[in-house]
Amino acid sequence: MKIASTSCICPVLVCLCFVQRCYGTAHHSSIKVTRNQTKHIEGETEVHHRPKRGWVWNQFFVLEEHMGPDPQYVGKLHSNSDKGDGSVKYILTGEGAGTIFIIDDTTGDIHSTKSLDREQKTHYVLHAQAIDRRTNKPLEPESEFIIKVQDINDNAPKFTDGPYIVTVPEMSDMGTSVLQVTATDADDPTYGNSARVVYSILQGQPYFSVDPKTGVIRTALHNMDREAREHYSVVIQAKDMAGQVGGLSGSTTVNITLTDVNDNPPRFPQKHYQLYVPESAQVGSAVGKIKANDADTGSNADMTYSIINGDGIGIFSISTDKETREGILSLKKPLNYEKKKSYTLNIEGANTHLDFRFSHLGPFKDATMLKIIVGDVDEPPLFSMPSYIMEVYENAKVGTVVGAVLAQDPDSANSLVRYFIDYNAEDDRFFNIDANTGSIKTTKVLDREETPWYNITVAASEKDNPGLLSHVTVGIRVLDVNDNPPELAREYDIVVCENSKPGQVIHTISATDKDDFANGPRFNFFLDEHLSINPNFTLKDNEDNTASILTRRRRFSRTIQDVYYLPIMISDGGIPSLSSSSTLTIRVCACERDGRVRTCHPEAFLSSTGLSTGALIAILLCVVILLAIVVLFITLRRSKKEPLIISEEDVRENVVTYDDEGGGEEDTEAFDITALRNPSAAEELKYRRDIRPEVQLTPRHQTLSTLESIDVQEFIKQRLAEADLDPSVPPYDSLQTYAYEGQRSEAGSISSLDSATTQSDQDYQYLGDWGPEFKKLAELYGEIESERTT
């Protein structure tokens, strides 16, 4: 199949089409599609023939932006199998097939139905195939070809980054590069001159030029001065088709600003200036301004001012205001019209940032002369000193002269001066001043310990012009005299241990003095010589303004004396020396072996510990609660304890305690002593109920019969033997005590213990006659007699 194209319009395109067609004819025109056939020849083997393709390969071209009424012819497809009888059908597929590109399925002609834009799409890839119209079977394999959109000059160059803003230093050399501009053309740069751009300058000559090929803008003049013209607007044009007639063009604006360089020196507008300054101007104040002009801007216009010579160089100074670039003239020393009426200054202004490329335009400084005229004014009095320091002793008499101030009228009139002290309304007035002489005196007695220093302000005015005032500060130091005796530095709580030894240091004391150092230390400590020697304590001066308290004897006792008093004397080192007496209180306390206080007198101890009332109450409450718990515990134990005595009449362990003072012979019920005298009256022997005895004891009737025949001594021995042989008796908590007073005296007993069992014929009726004091005794013996009678 052949591919033919008739879209060759220009001569170049015709030549390309001719070459393409010749190339296709030479290589493919004789290639035809045939079927694979196998021939059987006698004596020969089977031969397979490879099918040959009948496509003629080529590229199609179609012009962009076609505006004709009819579809644009692109080319033609032809197969060698096509005999012209219409049996071959051509099919076109791929990009734009059926929409942009259509094909005549009989002739193979391809047309473009739409206007194409190469800048949107440069080519289309399609596939062609020839099939049998009757059987729809392909006659040849499918083949791919390309339709390229051929460019025309339909896009003008564009500056995508414009407009431009750029700077270049003034006074630059000719040809200095400013900026490179670039224009882009959307046309095909590989075809023709449609995208070949040439630059030119439309506006901005003769100051700037542009390279036609690169678009670099450069300065075209020497020494372009910013002070003459600062801003330039340059218009650059870019034209395609290499700048030929008919080419498309685009333009942009480049705004160029000349930046400043230091090419202008400062200049004073005048060579001579005159300034009036009153003599009353304050030192340090600004008295005038001066300025030199500089055509440059920014840091290139910065300058400094200085006084280079003149007779006022020591009286005035000049500084530079960085904001306004002015020279500020200030006063260094006070002016006096009466001494000098004018001054002359030569002032220079110089740039601080120099550019040595332009040093030939210098020098970059300028000078002018300033004449200063001092004006005469009526000035206030002037004190002889800027401040005064005076001294006066404390306790000085009222009216004592402290010192004097002096002020004079600086004017030529030399008016009289009057003085007064400038007091505030609430100030205490300790001083006054003589209005004519300036002598300062005391009005009250001064106390250095209360106020050691006074600051007062003295004012002076002219007698003829009281409104003009001048002030001066007067400091008055109060000098010390020895008027305060020394005293103890604080209240001392001194403790001595009961086990102290002679010569032991129990405390160290110190002293203070309200007077100045010269009249205070050194301090001397000693005991009063008029008092007798203290046998308990002594005082030792440590010669370092402290003293130690020492014991004189061994051991102290709180029970004998719990507080001692030690009078001491202290003197200072002033002239004359002053002394004072104090009494030290020394408490006796019980201490540990290492000297720690264990306890002191309750009141003193508690007070020395510094406990508060609330803490003491809390401690007492805790002690009361603990005592209550102990008592309750003991009571509960006694109530639960089971008594070992089964019967009240068991005389062995029946011990009764009572605390009444005596009912005399009547009190016989608490303990019946007759049981000791009459063993037969003892109750049957009882054994412990908590332990079963392991041995058989003597029967009761045998014991009683035995007891009747022996006396008390034998009874006690027998009971002792039974206790020793009784295994149920615990040896550690059972104590049986028996006492025997010996054989009965022949004179008989004088005790009344056996009065209840012994007959007596004594009559006690006379006791009732003794009075009320013996009433109880009479009743007691009366009851005994009645019992006997009964």
Q: Which domains does the chain have, with CATH numbers?
A: 59-150 (2.60.40.60), 158-259 (2.60.40.60), 272-375 (2.60.40.60), 382-479 (2.60.40.60), 487-599 (2.60.40.60)
Tokens of 342: 């004018």
What gap in Å lies between CA 241 and CA 196, rounded to an integer? Answer: 6
User: Which parts of the chain register pLDDT below 70?
Assistant: 1-58, 425-426, 601-612, 640-711, 728-763, 782-790
Q: What is the pLDDT of residue 12?
A: 29
Q: Is 63 exposed, middle or buried (0-12, 13-18, 19+ CB in 10 A)?
A: buried
Tokens of 168: 């270049």
- Whether the Cβ atoms of residue 221 and residue 255 lie closer than 8 Å to each other: no
The widest CA-to-CA distance across the chain, in whole angstroms, is 200
Angle between helices 712-725 and 700-708 (to 10 degrees): 150
Q: What is the pLDDT of residue 80?
A: 83
- Whether the Cβ atoms of residue 438 and residue 406 lie closer than 8 Å to each other: yes
What gap in Å lies between CA 364 and CA 119, rounded to an integer? Answer: 61
Looking at 552-702, which runs of residues are DSSP E strands? Answer: 563-571, 579-591, 597-599
- Whether the Cβ atoms of residue 188 and residue 118 lie closer than 8 Å to each other: yes
Q: What is the pLDDT of residue 608?
A: 45
Q: What is the pLDDT of residue 10?
A: 34
Tally the residues of the chain. 790
What gap in Å lies between CA 735 and CA 714, rounded to an integer? Answer: 19
- Alpha-carbon dihedral sign for residues 80, 86, 91, 97: positive
Taking CB atoms within 8 Å and a gap of at least 24, the contacts of 609-617 are: none
Local structure of 22: helix, strand or coil = helix
Q: What is the pLDDT of residue 783?
A: 59
Q: What strand order describes the sheet that includes 342-351?
A: 272-278, 365-375, 342-351, 303-309
> DSSP for 281-320?
PPTT-EEEEE--B-S--GGGG-EEEEEEE-TTTTTEEEEE
In 679-774, which residue ranges form alpha helices assigned H by DSSP?
700-708, 712-725
Q: What is the pLDDT of residue 24?
A: 35
> Which residue is it, tokens 């805790």?
622
Closest CA to 142 of 185, 97, 91: 91
Q: What is the pLDDT of residue 34?
A: 29
Pairing of strands 60-63, 143-150: parallel
- Angstrom distances, CA of residue 529 to CA of 538, 539, 569: 12, 12, 9
Q: What strand order describes the sheet that includes 387-393?
A: 387-393, 469-479, 453-462, 417-421
- Angstrom distances, CA of residue 558 to CA of 85, 496, 533, 561: 157, 10, 22, 5
